[in-house]
Amino acid sequence: MSVTAQPLSAPTGVTATLRGKRIQISWQPVAGAVTYNIYRGTTPGGEGAAPYAGGLTGTSFTDGAVKKGTTYYYEVSAVAANGTESAPSAEVSAVAR
């Protein structure tokens, strides 16, 4: 009997919060995830196919490479031990100051 791995759920509870001159992205842990990927864009839905930051083992990420006055959009995905990636989270955004 073979066991089929269940696909990972997309991360939930994603927030983007301005912290000084940086943006902190946080999310709830996903059961079965070993790492997380962050996707970033400067237009809604423009995060692209390649992760902005990958292999994250925690449930937060601080983006220090932001430009004042620019709105950044983020999505987070969960990655299983076998490398399969979840669907992206809901998009969140924050304006760098």
CATH number, domain at 39? 2.60.40.10
SS3 assignment for the chain: CCCCCCCCCCCCCCEEEEECCEEEEECCCCCCCCEEEEEEECCCCCCCCCCCEEEECCCEEEECCCCCCCEEEEEEEEECCCCCECCCCCCEEEECC
Within a domain: residue 6?
no
Predicted TM-score of the model (pTM): 0.93
Within a domain: residue 35?
yes
Question: For the segment 2-47, what is each residue's pLDDT rounded down to a tens digit?
Answer: 445 678 999 999 999 999 999 999 999 999 999 999 999 999 999 9
Tokens 């809604």 locate to: 44
Within a domain: residue 9?
no
Question: For the segment 58-92, what is each residue's pLDDT rounded down to a tens digit?
Answer: 999 999 999 999 999 999 999 999 999 999 999 99
Within a domain: residue 88?
yes
Q: What's the domain count of the chain?
A: 1
Within a domain: residue 79?
yes
CB atoms within 10 A of CB 30: 21
Containing structural domain, residue 19: 15-95
Within a domain: residue 66?
yes
